[in-house]
Amino acid sequence: MKKQFLAVSALMMATPAMAVDITAGGALDSQYIFRGIPQSDEKAAGSGSIDAAWDIGFYAGTWASTVDSGTGGNDGLEYDVYGGWSGDIGDFSLGAGVTIYRYTDSFDDDYNEVNLSLGWSFLSLAVDIGEYDNFGNGDQDYQHSLLKAEYNGFFGSWGSFYDDFDGDYFSAGYGSTLTVQDQDLFDYHFTVIYSDDDLLGGSSDTNIIVGISKTFDLFSN
């Protein structure tokens, strides 16, 4: 996985100068749940990102968020680095990339993923093939798929893990932009997530998330 990520990075660095947009973003959510799994012990979580997108479809970026295990310790941050390509072919959208997940302190161990995506009209499918370091207890392999439907701001999805991980989750909600006098202030979303007992390793759970976010243009040529 790491060699594939380095190969994508080297390819983007070797690409001749081209148009690029660089943006920064920040978000605040009532809690952080990733792929149906709670990451902030039902507490609010703040996150931020920096992204670059080239006109031929390549992208790269980094994202970080606060995390909390609920044990009373200093759980620090999750920080992710990603890169890849996305574009349209006819009526279809395609994407391929890699993501690495890292953590400060001892909240979790390293994850490395290959990410594939396919979209058509209001439907999209994402497939992630990953490896988890598991604190030196032997690497674990996993696959994750997410089928999502979106229409006029409303969305619903079904996510599933398999291989060494197992479990399913379902989400539905609505997202839009708050606009006042033709001025976009910030984006907002409301999401309901149900996670089954296999995914959570015990009882199933349902959570509601409310969040706001804002993106800023830093550079464009």
**How many domains does the chain contain in total?**
1
Separation CA 59–CA 52 (nearest Å): 6
Separation CA 178–CA 158 (nearest Å): 27
Q: Which of 68, 36, 70 is nearest to 205 (CA)?
A: 36
Q: Which of 218, 219, 217, 214 is nearest to 27 (CA)?
A: 214
DSSP assignment of 10-43: HHHHHSPP--EEEEEEEEEESS-EETTEESSTTS
**Over the range 132-155, which residues count as b (16 or more CB within 10 Å of their CB) and which as e?**
beeeeeeeeebebebebeeeeeeb
Enter the tokens of residue 72.
Answer: 């009373």
Amino acid at 164: D
Structural domain for 136, as ranges: 2-220
Q: What is the pLDDT along the chain (221 residues), one digit of tens a residue?
A: 555 445 445 544 555 568 999 999 999 999 999 999 999 999 999 999 999 999 999 999 999 999 999 887 768 899 999 999 999 999 999 999 999 999 998 899 999 999 999 999 999 999 999 999 999 999 999 999 999 999 999 999 999 999 999 999 999 999 999 999 999 999 999 999 999 999 999 999 999 999 999 999 999 99
Strands (E), the chain: 20-29, 33-34, 37-38, 45-54, 58-66, 77-89, 92-103, 111-120, 123-132, 140-151, 154-163, 167-180, 183-195, 205-220
Identify the CATH number of the domain in which residue 21 sits: 2.40.160.40
